[in-house]
Amino acid sequence: MHHFIDRRRNPKGKSLGNRQRFLRRARDNIKERVDQSVRGKALHPAGGDPQDGEKVTIPARGLKEPRLAHSATGGLRHHVLPGNKDYVVGDTIARPQGGTGQGGRKASEGGEGEDEFSFTLSQDEYLEILFDGLELPDLVEKNTFETITVGTRRAGLTTAGSPNNLNLVRTMRNSLGRRIALQRPSLAALREVEEQIAMLAAKEPLTAVQMQLLGDLQARLEILKRKRRVVGYIDPLDLRYDTFVPEKIRNSKAVVFCLMDVSGSMQEREKDLAKRFFLLLHLFLSRGYEQTEIVFIRHTHHAQEVDEETFFYARETGGTIVSTALEQMKEIIADRYPTEEWNIYGAQASDGENFGNDSLRCKALLLEDLLPLCQFYAYVEIVDEDADMLLSNADAGEDLWQAYRQVKDKVQHFEMQRVSLPSHIYPIFREFFLPKIKGAQNAGG
Amino acid sequence: MQAVKTSSDVLFDGPEWTFELLEKARDVIEDIALQDLGLDVYPNQIEIISSEQMLDAYSCAGLPLMYQHWSFGKHFVRDETLYRTGRQGLAYEIVINSNPCISYNMEENTMAMQTLVMAHAAFGHNHFFKNNYLFLQWTDAAGIHDYLAFAKNYIAACEERYGLEAVEEILDAAHALQAQAVFRYGRPPQPTVAEKKAMQRVRDGYESSQSLLDLWTDATMRRETSDDGDEDPAISARQRELNLPQENVLYFLEKNSPILKPWQREMLRIVRSLAQYLYPQKQTKVMNEGCATFVHYYIINQLYQHGRLTQGAFMEMMHSHTNVVLQPDYDDGRFGGINPYALGFAMMTDIRRICEAPTDEDREWFPDIAGDPNWRGVLKDAWANYRDESFIQQFLSPHLIRKFKLFTLSNDADRPNLEVSHIHNRAGYRDIRRELARSYDLAYLEPDIQVTDVDLRGDRELKLTHFARNGIQLEPGNRDEVLKHARRLWGYNVVISVKTES
């Protein structure tokens, strides 16, 4: 008649499919908002990933579910309302602005959810939309995947193997097929003949016909028994064994080198812009690779590998020699990141000032030592907020910029851009990672 | 009321619930519901779910199984956000009109709330579903689960076969016409004699023997004779043939659209069937909630009087009860229309009062029930045989109109101000009652739209007519969007014209 059911163990998230359909539908709207949110976003204190996804507000436009509904104004209507205090018949009341006095209720009945509404994207959804359409810059074609063995995997059936791997189902299926094909007499058939013989034998005096029959039956029994011996129940032919092969999983790893000039000219603003770029790069790469590491290298006139905190917040003074950072990167790669295991990415931020003719040295280091090892290398030059001229004119620039432009002419997987505002970061990031023609020439090969 | 209780009689003490306690409480509630109130219910299946699952259930019109569509996802994210940010609580329960009657209780509820919710949903709503004529006539409580499962699988199969977008296109269009997808007054029309003959002809292969050219000459000739205007007998003949006018627009499209493929027609049928299944609930909000609220209120009072509840549990239930039946005044910031729980509960309590302690006024207004010794029977009769509109028209008493201090405001767009047309006095009772009843009549609330004409042999333009009452027009933005959807389903132009009530 009645019962209780505990459904709490049932999977929740029954509307996951609906949610995916909704996100797909709202994709353009959401994308716009995600782009915006990235542009104006404050960095997370730890500089890590956004942990809890991202809140987005999307306009209900385009997600409307139109219905035929009465217009909220016009015509003659009567409303019954509770709580009359002192009105008498004939009193007049000024028409409330924009409604009928039942505004709230009408709005929800008719044009459901006309206003914007916000919800939270999970981190995965957020990143997927954020990096939608971008791809990993694996421009350098080389075997950069480490293979490691993590277990075994089924690899079909064989006719030989150890008993513990016997596949009983397949074996019995083969056996059954063979027994049917070769017409192996069943035990029941055998018993039947034996019973008939026993019945006949029990009758003491046997007639000639019965004697004859008994003889036939015994002959038949002999045949049946022989056939059962010849056609075995299980024949070595039937045996099937499972086989397993060691499974090799391609375990991809990436390391991002963040190189930053921290000499006096790099103020909080400059560092903040650089950080936004490094953060995006790291988020992006962590989606493509099972494991991503970041190496922070800062430099003045000498370079140093540091932790994140020091990288972004310590103050330093001194001259600027950019090549020291590149040297340091080269050493660390040689030391800890064998290129056959690691996908290496470089990201460099600087205000573009460099010492003497060090820029030429940088160019040489990049072309000869670093770019052949890197999948991708990006240079971001952080210029003054009012440096419109620099932003629009790629020809103008200091030594470092000029030197890097020559690198760019030679190498495809090297990109450079200038930024002056937080809102520039995401667009140039997108530009860097838009799909390009793969397998183009590269310096290292 | 004096609570006589000994500790052994108390059903539970403390907020934690267990399945044993639930069983125990349910048995006692059932005893009162069936023996004392004389309710008649479907077997109960009470399911305990988490808040996430409640949100899931919410987004799919409260149904346990639903096909997938982005709009449910939209409702889900909105409800979820409102809930997470504390701007909206969750219902304590959802109950489904099915046999067995399924009700969902949230695991977060305290034992007192579980008790209240069981009385409310598993007995109040359940009795209403099983006995109200609208549900009996229009819904198939035993078959709904199978149908929902069928619908879900069918639409999933279509998605697999024809692609998400093709399915979404049809569903979006069908949803846009959902409010125009019900039969309000009668069962779907049976095929006419002519239609039956036509079907027979198809079966006999008659049509394949006719040349295409003949069809064309027929059509052209008819077209020429039908230029005189509306009075043309050919037009009325074709309207008769197509069962026009037809209020169920989706049904008409499903049956007559020249472009829909069979699977698309089946999808329209699914949307339309679910709209029809939910239609009685839209018409009985006040009665349904009123019935459930009256039942839980009666039961928890009985429980308390018999010493089965601690004072704390009783206070908790009463607190929740009064929140539910709160009716803010029109000038209160919390006002959002008339609360169906408040109105329904007040009316049912009032009916009991009219039976038990009628005044002269009650005897004048309700000669049939005033002083009736069997108030339970009167209520059960009301629950079974009315919907909100007729229930209010029949049972809203002057006593309640005064209690709620109801008044009517006339809002005439031709006049600069709103006017108070009736207040809660002798002159106003009947008008207020009529206006309030009308405001629950879906035929008035929802636009009256009918398929009025189409020339299948001519331009095939589908003509819809909006019969506007009191000069109230359709909201134009929505109307144009819906027409686009309708064109998608019809394949040819769809227009809507307004006919104003004289």
pLDDT tens-digit readout, A85-134: 888 888 888 877 654 444 333 333 333 444 566 677 777 777 777 777 66
Residue A42: its pLDDT value, please? 44
CA distance linking residue A428 with residue A424, whole number of Å:
6
Cβ separation A90–B419 shorter than 8 A: yes
Is the Cβ–Cβ distance between B99 and B141 less than 8 Å? yes
Q: Tell me whether residues B19 and A76 touch, CB distance under 8 A.
A: no
- Give the residue ranges of chain B where pLDDT is below 70: 1-8, 61, 85-90, 186-232, 502
Q: How many CA atoms lie within 13 A of B56 on its CB side?
A: 22
Nearest Cβ partner for A100 among B43, B411, B417: B411
State yes or no: pLDDT of A424 exceeds 90: no
Helix, coil or strand: residue B367 = coil
Query: Which tops the pLDDT comparison, A31 or A163?
Result: A163
Contact at 8 Å (CB) between B422 and A89? yes
Per-residue pLDDT tens over the stretch A333-348:
898 888 877 888 888 9
CB A81 to CB B107 under 8 A? no
Would you state the pLDDT for residue A13?
A: 67
User: What is the reported pLDDT for A39?
Assistant: 58
Instruction: Tell me what pLDDT residue A111 has.
Output: 38
Q: Does residue B479 sit at the A interface (CB-CB below 8 Å)?
A: yes
Nearest-Cα distance to chain B for A58, in Å, is 11
Task: Determine the pLDDT at residue B3.
Answer: 47
CA A403 – CA A391 distance, rounded (Å): 17
Supply the pLDDT for residue B229: 46
Contact A92 B420 (CB under 8 A): yes
Helix (H, G, I), strand (E, B) or coil at B465: strand
Q: What pLDDT does residue A280 have?
A: 81
State phi, psi for A368 to the nearest 5 degrees: -90, -35
- Sort out which chain A residues have CB atoms less than 8 A from B104's CB and list them: 7
* Secondary-structure breakdown of chain B: helix, strand, coil percentages, each rounded to the nearest 5: 55, 10, 35
Put simply, the answer to whether B420 touches A101 (Cβ < 8 Å) is: no
A2 reaches B (C-beta below 8 A): yes
User: Residue B243 is encoded by which pair of tokens?
Assistant: 């069962």
A80 and B439 within 8 Å at the Cβ level: the answer is yes
Tell whether B168 lies on the interface with A, counting CB pairs under 8 A.
Answer: yes
Q: What is the pLDDT of residue A59?
A: 60
Residues of B in contact with A19 (CB under 8 A): 73, 76-77
Provide the ipTM.
0.80
Among A65, A92, A102, most B C-beta atoms within 10 A, so best to mutate, is A65
- The per-residue pLDDT for A40 is 53
Specify the pTM: 0.69
The answer to whether residue A139 scores a pLDDT higher than 60 is no
Residue type, B348: M
pLDDT of residue B8: 62
User: Order of strands across the sheet with B101-106?
Assistant: A2-6, B44-49, B101-106, B93-96
Residue with the larger pLDDT of the pair A196 and A438: A196
Q: Is A61 part of the contact surface with chain B (CB cutoff 8 Å)?
A: no
DSSP A247-295: EEEEE-EEEEEEEEE-STT--HHHHHHHHHHHHHHHHHHHHHSSEEEEE
Instruction: Sort A165 into a burial class: Cβ within 10 Å, 0-12 / 13-18 / 19+.
Output: middle
* Cα–Cα distance list, B234 to A409, B125, B455 (Å): 79, 51, 10
Helix axes A422-433, A268-288, angle to 10 degrees: 30
Q: Is A90 on the interface with B (CB under 8 A)?
A: yes
Whether residues A89 and B420 touch (CB distance < 8 A) is answered with yes
Name which residue leads in pLDDT, A224 or A440.
A224
Statement: residue A47 has pLDDT above 50: no
